[in-house]
Structure 1
């Protein structure tokens, strides 16, 4: 071990002569071409996300109907259904806690796909309620306008995170095709 004192400023020590990748003296202003930067990460991520969208990587075909394209290729596979908790689109975007659950289910759905299963991993939005109305009051817009605008922002953020949801199957609890069935179930139970 050397008894020489360690410089308080690592730059003051200068590059190590034996280091073949020692930074040049003006390293503070130059970024080496091999450096993994935020811009390079964004470029790689968005390129892969575009490829997934183009190829329909996260699509799960139905046996029949308008979403049946590609079903013959997965006919004999096991099926799985993965559903995240519906976020409330009552704010201008996701908060840092949202991805916590979404990442776990995304990893699980991808694992099942890698095992050869036909996986339906979709997303919904719990769009009714007081928080959505309060946000609309704050912005001075109709709740439907703010809710659907927020859903689009949430979807953009989820895509940017690289989450693999089947977007053709997403729903909002304010969609008539959704709440009609919840009303029917309620009437079956209490009618």
Structure 2
């Protein structure tokens, strides 16, 4: 049949390989599964259990930390990916330039919004926060962002906030001695000599 003799395609017929939302979801899920299984976005340490001394661990390092989403609601809003996509593009570019990129993200959940959400839902703040973090992790994975999944702290984790409380107590119980160490200055405990003469 010549091209002039071919019957025109019906308006209702779809091309054999149309890129649909369902196809896009399958393709993206396939790549996200592969990235996870191969550890594509994990940043190895130079030593220790997460070491990869023969691989990228010895390369120039780059640390990218995204703003922690606040899991006081059921999920992300459009403002979250807006910033995350920008840092993701930057991190991927730096990775292609040969750098060992640690792109991290955690979850910040202290404060009144988390408590108010728990009151509205009638659940304990720990339960609502942990459930919301699970959902946000699912959403972030579906976005295909290049965060290192092993480095994802939550400020509600005891192993995290015990250190922030320790630092706070160190700062709270200290004063800055500008004349110490030959004028370079350093923090001194409030019980050390000289604390009573501190100014301001």
TM-score by length of 2: 0.80
Give the Cα separation in 1 of the matches to 2:46 and 2:128.
36
TM-fit CA distance, 1:74: 1.9
Q: Which of 8, 22, 45 is residue 62 of structure 1 equivalent to? A: 45
Residue 93 in structure 1 maps to residue 75 in structure 2: yes
Residue of structure 2 in register with 1:187 after alignment: 169
Alignment of 1:14-163 (within 5 A): 24-25=9-10, 27-28=11-12, 30-68=13-51, 70-163=52-145
Q: Which runs of 5+ in 2 are unaligned?
A: 174-200
State the Cα deviation string for residues 91-141 of structure 1 (Å, max 9, x = none): 111111110100011111111110111111011111111111111111111
Give the Cα separation in 1 of the matches to 2:27 and 2:148.
22
TM-score by length of 1: 0.83
Residue of structure 1 in register with 2:150 after alignment: 168
Give the Cα separation in 2 of the matches to 1:71 and 1:164.
21
RMSD between superposed Cα atoms in Å: 1.7
Decide whether aligned partners of structure 1 residues 36 and 65 sit closer, same or farther in structure 2, where only a CA change above 3 A counts: same
Residue of structure 2 in register with 1:14 after alignment: none
Aligned residues: 170
Give the Cα separation in 2 of the matches to 1:162 and 1:137.
33
Which structure carries more helix by proportion?
1
State the Cα deviation string for residues 42-88 of structure 1 (Å, max 9, x = none): 111111111111110000111223322x2331243100000000110
Give the Cα separation in 2 of the matches to 1:113 and 1:99.
20
